[in-house]
Chains A and B, each alone.
Chain A
Amino acid sequence: MEAKQIMFAIFAIVIVVFSVLTVTSRRILRAAVSLLMVLIATAGLYFLLNYQFMAAVQITLYAGGIVVLIIFSILLTSQISHKFERIETKKAIFSALAAIAGAVVVITTILNHSFSADTVAAAEIDMHVIGRSLLETGPDGYVLPFEVISVLLVAAMIGAIVIAKKGSPHKDEPAK
């Protein structure tokens, strides 16, 4: 076995185990930490695929940003020591059945399909290429989605502030 395969196996195991822990852990902070592990392992996969920039973004934005945000909100709304009640068996079984059925359908489809790779030589993806593509207006440029996403982010930021502040019945409570 090559080193890469071993690495993939490790990442795959980490992702599967911690994904399941994320959705089943009865302590909310542990679930959040499991999510963090999944996200970091995903970043590892990106390294395996040789997308270093995306891996970095994954770690800083997802692991660093979103998970911290989630942990903050957990601290604001829940008690750390609180354990969730057990899920109703019926509900768990039906949900699991739906999830497994979906997974089976998708996986059989994937395995039955033969993917044909593009013959073009792999492009070197370094920071210069990414930066230029993001701001280019030509056929390979992504300036329009870039602009749209920036407007979206501004809107989301404003929206989040407005929603979190407006109509607060507890004025004395510090706003996030």
Chain B
Amino acid sequence: MMTDFGYTTWILIIPFITFLLLSFFGMRLKGLPAGITGTSALGVVALLSWYTAITYFTGGGIADGGFQKIVAANAVWLNLSDHLHIDMGVLLDPISVMMLVVISTVSLMVHIYSLGYMKGEKGFERYYAFLSLFTFSMMGLVVATNIFQMYIFWELVGVSSYLLIGFYYDRPSAVAASKKAFIVTRFADMGFLVGILILSFTTKTFDFVTLTDINGPAIASKGGAVFMGMSLMTWSMIFIFMGGAGKSAMFPLHIWLPDAMEGPTPVSALIHAATMVVAGVYLVARMFPVYYFTAPEALHIIAWVGAISSLFAAIIALTQTDIKRVLAYSTISQIGYMIFSLGVSGYGGHDGLGFMASNWHLFNHAMFKALLFLGAGSVIHAVHSNDMKDMGGLRRYMPVTNITFLIACLTIAGVPPLSGFFSKDEILTAALHHNKLLFAIEYAVAGLTAFYMFRLYFSVFHGHDRHYHHTPHESPATMTVPLIILAFGSVFAGFLPFSRLVTSDGAPFESHIEWSVAIPSVAIGLLGIGLAWVMYRKETALPDRVASFFSHGYRWAYNKFYIDEVYIFITKKIIFRRISQPVAWFDRHIVDGTMNGIAYVTQSVSSMIKGLQSGQLQKYGYVFITGVIALAIVFIYLVK
């Protein structure tokens, strides 16, 4: 039986109204009341989202033995032609409902946490206004009924991310980071837009329900015309994935994410770990039938991009010393996992294991990565530094943060029975069925992940004390309560029957733990933890010896494989010098010169002839009369 989900539009409207209220009247509310307004509005949204999810998954969305796509609300927004129109609406299906829960929960936790973390900051109400804007945009993105609505909210999400990264706009590094994030993702979104245009040209529709219908025109077209060896649909899907890769910080468009850590830490938790950066995963998941049936080459590319990003980011994470940057690279690595998992997935039933695992991992990752970031924020709050060298022995001062951070690290390392174990196991199983080489890469990444997370954990919470400005203290309850809630989420999310809820074709299937994969993956995770224990539990010279043993590799990884330098080389040395500078010269001298010349000539001519406008009536009369006489002569004698 289908239920009426019309109320879900309020999930969008409430944060938007909150944003407007806080933008226009936030200054009057003065700090804490503004935060409480934003938080309570988000509480309502979270309740609505949870209610929607429970109704949907317990029967509201079930028909014909599977979960159906329900268009809860839809209105034509722009009519482009008879067939092509851009709508605004709410689409509910397992992944969007799951995303609603993830976003609203993490966002609520971050709102509560920020009450403590951001206390006394300048621009507190602005911060909450931006958070509401972000939540609104992200919700609009996930419930989009068509790809163009998704694109619009996609850009809004980008803007809110830009605003929040640059929250401390008096710091040059934050301003640079926000610009970098905006420009890189904009560049990727250009690909997204091109993809949308090709897609709408080929299929004559933007609508997700029509596009992903396996009997629908999009999939029946089998890709359309062929261009440069690949069908138009494949090209469009690759371009669309480019947008997703930009937002999800996949290699080689990942360079903005580590810098985005300049924003306030709760923002990093919300946007740059749990929600916005998984938009790329969500996009591919949303379009998954189209990818699978019309563009298998694109799916292949996706799998490799995911795998390479996860390995690459994990290696860089080994060497970084800024706590937030380690977590940022860890995020890239984990999103690489999800993207990879989609790339190796099949469609329908047990073949869709990768799809299910990807979404499951997304869900779990949102919980434990938000927890890690918030825990890191708690630590930063206590020691006023981002650098791991300034931290050590904090477990004695911050028991709650210590325990919850440990839980998150164990989860990401894939230790059973925590949630990360289950989703990672399913991903590796899907990979094993697909491609042995990709499986090997992901298997190695699992070990690296465990190692670098525990390197982080041990060097922050163990070891001996550093010289702190003041004795570190546990954070206030507004900060620790979200940590505890998220820790519960991380622990128990693994017991959710995901394979019966979120599947590629909506029909539930039974998944079980593949022990032949699970045991080695747990083993390599424990190995990583053990290595970290040996190297970082007590401070020894061992890490330095290892680093100097791999000196070249270490230096490359420490400098993030010089990707930023490559970008700077390409933009500054090649694009700026070879293209932009000549264009600028042409613009300044030829185009502007012409215009200035015209202006100069006009000005000098007018200042020459303005004397004619002398105010002397008789001069005007003289000109008039001689003119009349001249005309008379012309017409009488010359023009017969």
Q: Which residues of A contact B (CB under 8 A)?
A: 91, 94-95, 98, 101-102, 105-106, 109
Does B570 count as interface, using CB distance less than 8 angstroms? no
Contact status A98-B636, CB under 8 Å: no
Does B435 count as interface, using CB distance less than 8 angstroms? no
A106 to B633, CA, bound (A): 9
Does B632 count as interface, using CB distance less than 8 angstroms? yes
The dominant DSSP class at the A interface is helix
B636 partner residues in chain A, CB cutoff 8 A: 105, 109
Contact status B633-A105, CB under 8 Å: yes
Contact status B629-A101, CB under 8 Å: yes
Contact status B633-A98, CB under 8 Å: no
Assuming A105-B636, A109-B636, is B629 touching A94 (CB within 8 A)? no
Taken residue by residue from 188 to 229, chain B's Cβ proximity to chain A (1 for < 8 Å, 0 otherwise) reads as 000000000000000000000000000000000000000000
Residue of A nearest to B619 (CB): A91
A94 partner residues in chain B, CB cutoff 8 A: 622
Kindly list the 10 A-B residue pairs having the minimum CB-CB distance in the complex, ordered from nearest. A102-B629, A98-B626, A105-B632, A101-B629, A98-B625, A105-B633, A109-B636, A105-B629, A98-B622, A98-B629
A106 to B618, CA, bound (A): 22
Taken residue by residue from 596 to 634, chain B's Cβ proximity to chain A (1 for < 8 Å, 0 otherwise) reads as 000000000000000000000010001001101100110
A102 partner residues in chain B, CB cutoff 8 A: 625, 628-629, 632
How far does the Cβ of B627 sit from chain A's closest Cβ, in whole Å?
A: 10
Residue of B nearest to A103 (CB): B629
How far does the Cβ of B21 sit from chain A's closest Cβ, in whole Å?
A: 56
B625 partner residues in chain A, CB cutoff 8 A: 98, 102
B629 partner residues in chain A, CB cutoff 8 A: 98, 101-102, 105
A94 to B636, CA, bound (A): 23
Q: Which residues of B contact A (CB under 8 A)?
A: 618, 622, 625-626, 628-629, 632-633, 636
A91 partner residues in chain B, CB cutoff 8 A: 618
A16 to B112, CA, bound (A): 105
Residue of B nearest to A112 (CB): B636
Q: List 11 A-B contacts (CB under 8 A).
A: A94-B622, A95-B622, A98-B622, A98-B629, A102-B628, A102-B629, A102-B632, A105-B629, A105-B633, A105-B636, A106-B632
A101 partner residues in chain B, CB cutoff 8 A: 629
Residue of B nearest to A95 (CB): B622
A4 to B618, CA, bound (A): 40
B633 partner residues in chain A, CB cutoff 8 A: 105
How far does the Cβ of A94 sit from chain B's closest Cβ, in whole Å?
A: 7
How far does the Cβ of A16 sit from chain B's closest Cβ, in whole Å?
A: 20
A94 to B623, CA, bound (A): 11
Residue of B nearest to A99 (CB): B625
How far does the Cβ of B620 sit from chain A's closest Cβ, in whole Å?
A: 13
A102 to B628, CA, bound (A): 9
Counting chain B CB atoms within 10 Å of each CB, the highest count among A95, A98, A109 belongs to: A98
A106 partner residues in chain B, CB cutoff 8 A: 632
Residue of B nearest to A91 (CB): B618
B632 partner residues in chain A, CB cutoff 8 A: 102, 105-106
Residue of A nearest to B626 (CB): A98
How far does the Cβ of A147 sit from chain B's closest Cβ, in whole Å?
A: 32
Given A98-B625, A102-B632, A105-B633, 4 other A-B residues pairs in contact with their CB atoms under 8 A = A94-B622, A95-B622, A98-B622, A102-B625
B618 partner residues in chain A, CB cutoff 8 A: 91
A95 to B626, CA, bound (A): 9
How far does the Cβ of B445 sit from chain A's closest Cβ, in whole Å?
A: 91
A94 to B621, CA, bound (A): 12
How far does the Cβ of B608 sit from chain A's closest Cβ, in whole Å?
A: 21
A14 to B626, CA, bound (A): 28
A109 partner residues in chain B, CB cutoff 8 A: 636
A101 to B628, CA, bound (A): 11
How far does the Cβ of B628 sit from chain A's closest Cβ, in whole Å?
A: 8
A91 to B618, CA, bound (A): 10
How far does the Cβ of B78 sit from chain A's closest Cβ, in whole Å?
A: 58
A94 to B632, CA, bound (A): 18
A101 to B633, CA, bound (A): 10
B622 partner residues in chain A, CB cutoff 8 A: 94-95, 98
A106 to B625, CA, bound (A): 13
A120 to B622, CA, bound (A): 42
A91 to B622, CA, bound (A): 10
How far does the Cβ of A90 sit from chain B's closest Cβ, in whole Å?
A: 12
A109 to B625, CA, bound (A): 18
A30 to B338, CA, bound (A): 109
A60 to B625, CA, bound (A): 31
How far does the Cβ of B619 sit from chain A's closest Cβ, in whole Å?
A: 10
A98 partner residues in chain B, CB cutoff 8 A: 622, 625-626, 629
Residue of B nearest to A108 (CB): B636
How far does the Cβ of A108 sit from chain B's closest Cβ, in whole Å?
A: 9
How far does the Cβ of A98 sit from chain B's closest Cβ, in whole Å?
A: 5
How far does the Cβ of A28 sit from chain B's closest Cβ, in whole Å?
A: 17
Residue of B nearest to A102 (CB): B629
A105 partner residues in chain B, CB cutoff 8 A: 629, 632-633, 636
Residue of A nearest to B628 (CB): A102
How far does the Cβ of B623 sit from chain A's closest Cβ, in whole Å?
A: 10
A40 to B291, CA, bound (A): 105
A55 to B323, CA, bound (A): 112
A109 to B635, CA, bound (A): 12
Residue of A nearest to B633 (CB): A105
Residue of A nearest to B625 (CB): A98
Residue of B nearest to A106 (CB): B632
A95 to B622, CA, bound (A): 7
A68 to B633, CA, bound (A): 39
Residue of A nearest to B632 (CB): A105
Residue of A nearest to B623 (CB): A98
A98 to B633, CA, bound (A): 13
How far does the Cβ of B286 sit from chain A's closest Cβ, in whole Å?
A: 76
How far does the Cβ of B622 sit from chain A's closest Cβ, in whole Å?
A: 7
A101 to B631, CA, bound (A): 12
How far does the Cβ of B458 sit from chain A's closest Cβ, in whole Å?
A: 93
A73 to B441, CA, bound (A): 109
A101 to B626, CA, bound (A): 9
How far does the Cβ of B58 sit from chain A's closest Cβ, in whole Å?
A: 87
Residue of B nearest to A97 (CB): B626
A95 partner residues in chain B, CB cutoff 8 A: 622
A106 to B635, CA, bound (A): 12
